[in-house]
Amino acid sequence: MAATARGRGAHRIAAAGVVTGAVLLLALLALPIVVLLIRGGIPGLGQLGADHELRAALWLTAQTATIATLLTVLLGTPLAYLLARARMPAGALVGALLDLPLLIPHPVAGMALLLAFGRASPAGAALAQLGLAVVGSRTGIVLAMLFVAAPLYVSAAREAIARVDERYESVARTLGDSPMRAAWRVTRPLAGRGLLAAAVVMWARAISEFGAIVILTYNPKVASVLSYDRFTGEGLEAALPVAAVLVILALVPLLVLRSLRAGTALGEPAR
Amino acid sequence: MIAVEALRSRAGAFVLRDVTFSLPAGAWGIVLGSAGSGKTTLLETIAGVRRAESGRVLLRGADVTRVPPERRGVGIVYQHALLFPHLTVEENVRYGADEPDYAVALARRLGAGQLLTRGVRELSGGERQMVALARALAPRPDILLLDEPLAAVDPRGRTRLRRELRALQRELSLTVLHVTHDFGEAGTLGDLAILLDEGRMVQAAAPETLFRRPASAAAAEFLGAENVFAGSATPLAPGSDDEAGTMQFHAGSLTLVGVGETGAVAHAVIRGEDVVLARERGGTTSARNVLDGVVVEVVAHGALARVTLEVEGLPLVASVTAGSVSELGLLPGSRAVATIKATAVHLC
Amino acid sequence: MQATAGAARHLPKLSSCNEIRHMRSPGFALLVASLACARPCDAATASRADTVVVFTAASLAVPMRAALDSFARQTGAVVQQENGASLELARRITELGRVPDVIALADQEVFPQLLVPRAASWYVRFARNRMVVAFTGRSRGAAQITADDWHHVLSRPDVRVGRSDPRLAPVGYRTLLLYRLAEGHYRVPGLASRLEARTPPALMRANASELVALLQAGELDYIVDYESLARANRLRFVILPPAIDLGDPARARDYARASVRVARRTDTTTYRGAPIAYAATVPRGAPHPSAGQRFLRYLLSPAGQAVLRAHAVDALRVPELVGDSVPSALHAMHR
């Protein structure tokens, strides 16, 4: 009897510990955002009408982040598929390579992109032929966003695809599908929820990027650069509204996308 | 027809090797083996979803070893159906079919007519397998691979599924390769039995040969049945309509009364331990099979002995204690009477 | 980087942290206090070695590092250096409440603009600086450019010229002042606006270090910036006529003839030409003010001047103090 009571007591302490830890982390994450929204939310939203520089920055941020995400989904999903189906060690090696951009400090990433795609580089010269410049342009913004965020998408997409039982594709192939057709008709819809979640993560990451973007493209300004600009030039009070409005406006598509994901799980390995 | 030569295939760390057999067109082959023996790997290699490391796979006489699965014209039904969760039953069935009407007709025939608009999650095990079967046959393959299709189905569903499988095989002249770990569950021994053990093919032969002369002690233990007779069954009472009931089985001049499902019964299976021996006939007994024979061979294994009788020209193996052998004085050449209950004679 | 070890210990003591007086709302102050008090707020000098935290403008980074290292070797002090854009450093003090022991900027303008009187009551000019046109061996027209025709080269349509945003950095509007002075000096009407137009928004940057990066990467052919920056980054540069390069204190009145209006979102400021000088101060609420003064005294001494000159900084022989309540430790050094 005493042993059970002790056991229950220990269990309660452990459960309390888990809950406390969770609450602490949530508080740590939520507090700065709450402060930001309180300090900057109202002035920010009020400013939106008159402040066309702010509107332009928000629009540019949304545009470039969306383009970067769409490009990544287009190019990264096949890559994620190949990685999900790849044998070791090739899969692990490429996977590790893909994680590298995540390790690089963002300003350093911007410099690396500048060296690789700037006008003085072979790639940059080729781009110039096409009329594309990386510095001071939307192209540079999209490139920087892609560099820092695409690895997140590919990792998450790879996981989502790996969770789909490979045998579904085998069955589809015996029913006459080529490998690509089988992947498209079977694996893609079954991994769809996970792919969408990965795209959301990528988009959010692209929206918030600063260090890599500012090296390549200072003008035109995305919201993160504008808020830094206003902080430097005018002070905290001027910078907070920009940041707060960005958070508020970005919440809308995020919430919409997350709610789309709700629903029964598909594609988990067959019972 | 399905033929395999020196086939070697890999699934992760597991290697399947030395598989060679030939199954004629329209025949029913059964692949026996315990879990992990390589049965699924073999099926997947024949279907083409797994690449053979070496050896050949021939379908319909043509070498298809390098041909991708979508061009092999093979249907496959897995143990858990693997129906596409994001599609309805009808969409599943029509997935690979060029003729949607045929696909739907197949589904209806297999009893899934009411289920067409449903999602696959709502189906029972038996219903799933019916749908999986319809899906596999909708593209009109002439070869069908079954990976323990009855294992996840409840007993009632199993009966129905077995019947439909046999019927379809006949109607569509399918060459079937049926993988199972338990021939009793399979309900049939087919025309060719292939025994796999730990990734190697141990034996491929007609079922009665396989059972009567297993290639190894482990195989014998797995098979667990020493007596298999090939023959045919007739109902006990003419005109009786018992779906799963007692029947008369004839193998040559040997007649047995046994239990099984009506339909294409081709074999009678009796475990050696179910055979009771005596020196002469006793009084009235409930056992329906009392057979006179002559002892041909006695092999002792410690406390047990394996006694082979000749009955109506066919060998019958009984597994008895060594003590009984000496008590009864069973020696080669002595007469003996074998008694077997009808329930111990499995007809399949 | 700041020491953050003391954060937990020093959270609640608002009254002992001078910098909190500058904060507006108490709630925010509490949040900032935990950041600001990351260093021990105790201003009393310790019996152990000094700790000196210095904010340095990017173009001064290398010379200041050398001076700090030399100071550390001689006194055993622990030195910490943070580099950044002039305005951003100033904002760190005024907005974020992070106060160093010494702040040294490549442009004295920032002191009266932002720091005096709330964050500092005095500052000392200690070196000169001037505008140059910097470039690399890869720059177009690099072979021909001279002090006399630089404005022709920069006017060419195939040449990419970068400069700083005048709204954010003093060097930005000083570039515009340079252009105006050049227009008068070379007697080329419209030169200033033409040169100004040669840098589209895409080639403008918030601070000088980014311009250097772009120049070195080959994205730009020329940048207009301080000589200290050009030397620090080993760039080639054109020395401009003293009449226009804002580098000679004796020509203050000539420089003052040029002016630019810089329109920001909320206000417009007019800047007049003035000689550029490096300046430094020990701000209010510095965590180790005595140590800061000791380092500044060293920097202004002949020994410190020698270190600066060794790193191509034109140190003033007699530093110039501006403002009142200058600490006695530095009295002897000023004029």
C293-316: pLDDT as tens digits = 999 999 999 999 999 988 878 888
Q: Can you tell me the distance from the alpha carbon of C210 to that of B199, in angstroms, rounded to the nearest whole number?
A: 65
Check whether C206 has a pLDDT greater than 80.
Answer: yes
The half-sphere exposure of C122 on its side-chain side, counting CA atoms within 13 A, is: 17
Q: Can you tell me the distance from the alpha carbon of C214 to that of A124, in angstroms, rounded to the nearest whole number?
A: 14
B311: tokens are 């009955």
**Hey, are the CB atoms on A238 and C266 less than 8 Å from each other?**
yes
Check whether A24 has a pLDDT greater than 70.
Answer: yes
- Residue ranges of C 58-97 with Cβ closer than 8 A to chain A: 85, 87-88, 91, 94-96
- What residues in A contact C138, CB-CB < 8 Å? 120
CA neighbor of A239 nearest in space, from C168, C52, B155: C168
Check whether B94 has a pLDDT greater than 90.
Answer: yes
> Which pLDDT band, with edges at 50, 70 and 90, does C182 fall under?
very high
Check whether C42 has a pLDDT greater than 80.
Answer: no
Query: Angle at the Cα of C78 (from C74 to C84), degrees rounded to 5?
Result: 110
> Which pLDDT band, with edges at 50, 70 and 90, does C16 fall under?
very low
Give me the helix-helix angle, C61-75 and C289-300, nearest 10°. Answer: 110
DSSP tag of A268: P
Please tell me whether residue B299 adopts helix, strand or coil conformation.
strand
Q: What is the mean pLDDT of residues C120-138?
A: 91
Query: Which pLDDT does position B265 carry in this prediction?
Result: 78
The pLDDT tens digits of the residues spanning B132-191 come to 999 999 999 999 999 998 888 888 888 888 888 888 998 999 999 999 887 777 777 788
The pLDDT tens digits of the residues spanning A91-124 come to 788 888 888 888 899 989 998 999 999 888 899 9
Q: Which of A17-21, B226-230, C72-76, C234-238 has the lowest mean pLDDT?
A: B226-230
Check whether C28 has a pLDDT greater than 90.
Answer: no
Per the CB < 8 A criterion, the answer to whether A157 and A233 are in contact is no
Q: What is the mean pLDDT of residues B269-276?
A: 88
DSSP labels, B180-219: ES-HHHHT---SEEEEEETTEEEEEE-HHHHHHS-SSHHH
Query: Which pLDDT does position C38 carry in this prediction?
Result: 43
Query: Which pLDDT does position B239 carry in this prediction?
Result: 59
Chain C contact for A219 (CB, 8 A cutoff): yes
The per-residue pLDDT of chain A, averaged, comes to 87
Residue C270 CB neighbour total at 10 angstroms:
9
Interface with chain A: mutation pick from B84, B92, B135, highest number of A CBs within 10 Å: B84
Q: What is the ipTM of this complex?
A: 0.80
C216: tokens are 């070195």
**Hey, are the CB atoms on C210 and A114 less than 8 Å from each other?**
no
Query: Which pLDDT does position C10 carry in this prediction?
Result: 36
Cβ contacts from A onto B, under 8 A: 66
Q: What is the mean pLDDT of residues B90-106?
A: 92
Q: Which of B184-193, C88-97, C135-144, C251-260 has the lowest mean pLDDT?
A: B184-193
- What residues in A contact C94, CB-CB < 8 Å? 235
> Which pLDDT band, with edges at 50, 70 and 90, does A88 fall under?
low
Distance from B115 to chain A by nearest Cα, in Å? 19
Query: Which pLDDT does position C96 carry in this prediction?
Result: 85
Check whether A178 has a pLDDT greater than 50.
Answer: yes
Backbone angles phi, psi at B144, to 5 degrees: -125, 130
Check whether C130 has a pLDDT greater than 80.
Answer: yes
Check whether A141 has a pLDDT greater than 50.
Answer: yes
The residue behind tokens 């038996």 is B126
B94: tokens are 């029509």
Check whether C21 has a pLDDT greater than 50.
Answer: no
**Hey, are the CB atoms on B76 and A266 less than 8 Å from each other?**
no
Chains C and A touch (3+ CB pairs under 8 A): yes
| Residue % of chain B over a pLDDT of 90 | 39
Which helix (DSSP H) or strand (DSSP E) does residue B9 occupy? strand B2-11
Burial of B315 (0-12, 13-18, 19+ CB in 10 A): middle
First to last CA, chain C: 34
Distance from A220 to chain C by nearest Cα, in Å? 7
Query: Which pLDDT does position C26 carry in this prediction?
Result: 45
> Which pLDDT band, with edges at 50, 70 and 90, does A261 fall under?
low
- What residues in A contact B135, CB-CB < 8 Å? 175
CA neighbor of B271 nearest in space, from B318, B322, B328: B318
Distance from C123 to chain A by nearest Cα, in Å? 21
Closest residue in C to A217 (Cα) is C202
Please tell me whether residue A137 adopts helix, strand or coil conformation.
coil
Q: How far is CA C105 from the centre of its chain?
A: 3
Return the partners of chain A (3 or more C-beta pairs < 8 Å): B, C
- What residues in B contact A168, CB-CB < 8 Å? 82, 84
Check whether A2 has a pLDDT greater than 80.
Answer: no
Q: How far is CA C247 from the centre of its chain?
A: 15
Per the CB < 8 A criterion, the answer to whether A173 and A182 are in contact is yes
Residue B82 CB neighbour total at 10 angstroms:
23
Cβ within 8 Å of residue B304, ≥6 positions away: B319, B320, B321, B322
Q: Are strands C102-105 and C51-57 parallel, antiparallel or unpaired?
A: parallel
Q: What is the mean pLDDT of residues C28-57?
A: 57
Per the CB < 8 A criterion, the answer to whether B248 and B318 are in contact is no
Please tell me whether residue A15 adopts helix, strand or coil conformation.
helix
The pLDDT tens digits of the residues spanning C92-123 come to 898 888 899 999 987 788 888 888 888 898 99
Q: What is the mean pLDDT of residues C15-22?
A: 38
C212: tokens are 């250097």
Check whether B310 has a pLDDT greater than 90.
Answer: yes
The per-residue pLDDT of chain C, averaged, comes to 81
Spell out the SS3 assignment of chain C.
CCCCCCCCCCCCCHHHCHHHHHCCCHHHHHHHHHHHCCCCCCCCCCCCCCEEEEEEEHHHHHHHHHHHHHHHHHHCCEEEEEEECHHHHHHHHHCCCCCCCEEEECCCCHHHHHHCCCCCCEEEEEEECCEEEEECCCCCCCCCCCCCCHHHHHHCCCCCEEEECCCCCHHHHHHHHHHHHHHHHHCCCCHHHHHHHCCCHHHEECCHHHHHHHHHHCCCCEEEEEHHHHHHCCCEEEECCCCCCCCCHHHHHHHCCCEEEEECCCCEEEEECCCCEEEEECCCCCCCHHHHHHHHHHHHCHHHHHHHHHCCCEEEEEEEEEECCCCHHHHCCCC
Q: Which of A234-243, B225-234, C324-333 has the lowest mean pLDDT?
A: C324-333
Check whether B102 has a pLDDT greater than 80.
Answer: yes
Query: Which pLDDT does position A109 carry in this prediction?
Result: 92
Q: Can you tell me the distance from the alpha carbon of A117 to that of B165, in angstroms, rounded to the nearest whole number?
A: 64
**Hey, are the CB atoms on A136 and C85 less than 8 Å from each other?**
no
DSSP tag of B61: T
Give me the helix-helix angle, A52-85 and A236-261, nearest 10°. Answer: 40
Query: Angle at the Cα of B304 (from B299 to B308), degrees rounded to 5?
Result: 40
Query: Which pLDDT does position C27 carry in this prediction?
Result: 43
CA neighbor of C243 nearest in space, from C261, C231, C262, C257: C257
CA neighbor of A178 nearest in space, from B287, B198, B72, B35: B72
Confidence (pTM): 0.77
Query: Which pLDDT does position C107 carry in this prediction?
Result: 79
The per-residue pLDDT of chain B, averaged, comes to 87
B334: tokens are 């002595």
CA neighbor of C34 nearest in space, from C48, C44, C23, C45: C23
